[in-house]
Amino acid sequence: MELYKQHQLKIYNSLSNKKEAFEPLIEGYIGMYVCGPTVYSNVHLGNVRTFLSFDLIYRYFKHLGYKVRYVRNITDAGHLENDADVGEDRIAKKARLEQIEPMEVVQRYTVDFHNVLNTFNFLPPSIEPTATGHIIEQIEIIKEILEKGLAYEINGSVYFDVLKYNENEHYGILSGRNIEDSIHNTRELDGQSEKKNPQDFALWKKAQPEHIMRWPSPWSDGFPGWHLECTAMSTKYLGKQFDIHGGGMDLKFPHHECEIAQANASNHQMPVNYWMHTNMLTLNGQKMAKSTGNYILPNDFFTGDNKHLSKIYVAPVVRFFMLQANYRSILDFSDDALLASEKGYYRLMNAVHQLDSLSASKSSTLPINDWLKSCYDAMNDDFNSPILIANLFEGVKYINLLKEGKESLNAEDLEVFKTTIKAFVFDVLGLVDIISEDTTDKLATVIEMLIKMRNEARENKDWALSDKIRDELLEKGIQLKDGKDGTTFSVN
């Protein structure tokens, strides 16, 4: 039986602002869409945290036996500097400044994005569509919204008519904003005057003559509005209604609010059952910002080249650190907290290494089933990874007690205990065991060193020493083989 049939998950739904029992539209299947990066600069730590949260969620769904289609897009066109549809396209601007093609900008930062995510051991999504690959689909949605009378064309651009939509629907349903307030709070910016109302947002923008990224449409040669791509790609791959839509909480408004309005206008139904938003992060209790110098870039951990870090940290330690906060809480980075996580990570990994040397007894003295239930309860409660980690450290205590012979487990319980710890540490938390890799590397270096010493001994015709090195290594299970291309070794 699939694990998900034994577990009732609860998810905090940003739409209702409460935890709800999770029921997918189709039993056993989950459709999940997460807004991906705009690839015009190096990925920042806030992005890493957001995608890590959904990596954890994706991994847990898979662990429970769900078949998940996880779609995470790449925004490679349409995201303007200002959310109010003014300013330059972020990618076109970067291309202009660096005097390269927009698609070179896209390629460079997509590769960077994937590299950073791979370093942190993220699972790739099932589909990673791009905005430029879905221009036709976006044009089709604009036509539908125009037909419904909820958008208007002006000077070759098309805008969503927010006030008209709000007559029968609720614009602000997700963010809790009242449209009356936003009317008073919206500043009129230059170049916005062609819109009927400042709240209206672009579905299609006519390209200025110097704008390189442009596509033909019934209205003008231009490009789609930023919010539209996510509606087009989520609908295409997950259907008009799907289970989960996620992103950072800064996307709630206007991006996700606009997505709801577009989908609702074109399909006449709410597109998503559960909206999930990840919280932001801080550094030493302050907002991270390049302008104040209070920031860390993902790569800074691996070089140690940052005034806020006392040393180099490996990726699994940083990943472990981030998982020690719930995705809905603010995550505060500090060197002290990272140092503490590093200790915790090694303590956990060393304990995992002991697992296979534990042997079963006739009877069990530890409450393994209760412990197992606590692990699942933590994750079933809106993916509460810090509580799961606390339970895993309870497991570390068990391992030590079992090793010392102070407690015992029968064969069945021991098997459950081993499998559960490994599944949560490696499959669900996605931690990589660098202790073994590290040790293997060091071992290889030491053997190479001994081979070199043996070669020197042979050159000096010191057969006694060269034989001693070979025989003593063999005694330890390491066999040297002399061949044409030098000496190799194998570990038995």
Shortest spacing between CB 172 and Zn ion, in angstroms: 18
Cβ-based nearer residue to Zn ion, 38 or 466: 38
Task: Count the neighbouring beta carbons within 10 Å of the beta carbon of residue 133.
Answer: 14
Shortest spacing between CB 107 and Zn ion, in angstroms: 21
Cβ-based nearer residue to Zn ion, 92 or 230: 230
Cβ-based nearer residue to Zn ion, 36 or 222: 36
Cβ-based nearer residue to Zn ion, 50 or 380: 50
DSSP string over 122-191? PPPPSB--BSGGGHHHHHHHHHHHHHTT-EEEETTEEEE-HHHHHHHS-TTTTT---HHHHHHHPPP-TT
Shortest spacing between CB 317 and Zn ion, in angstroms: 31
Shortest spacing between CB 270 and Zn ion, in angstroms: 16
Cβ-based nearer residue to Zn ion, 230 or 431: 230
Which residues bind to Zn ion, rule: CB under 5 A? 35, 230
Closest C-alpha to 233, from 125, 116, 89: 125
Cβ-based nearer residue to Zn ion, 262 or 385: 262
Task: Count the neighbouring beta carbons within 10 Å of the beta carbon of residue 371.
Answer: 18
Shortest spacing between CB 117 and Zn ion, in angstroms: 17
Instruction: Evaluate whether 384 touches 428 at the Cβ level (below 8 Å).
Output: no
Q: Please give the DSSP secondary-structure letter assigned to residue 38.
A: B
Shortest spacing between CB 65 and Zn ion, in angstroms: 28
Closest C-alpha to 52, from 44, 42, 41: 44
Instruction: Please list, residue by residue across 350-361, b when 16 or more beta carbons sit within 10 angstroms of its beta carbon and e when fewer do.
Output: ebbeebeebeeb
Shortest spacing between CB 281 and Zn ion, in angstroms: 20
Enclosing H/E stretch for 309: none
DSSP string over 402-438? HHTTSS--BHHHHHHHHHHHHIIIIIIS----HHHHH
Cβ-based nearer residue to Zn ion, 35 or 207: 35
Report CA-CA distances (Å) from 372 to 160, 237, 379, 393, 424. Answer: 51, 36, 11, 12, 10
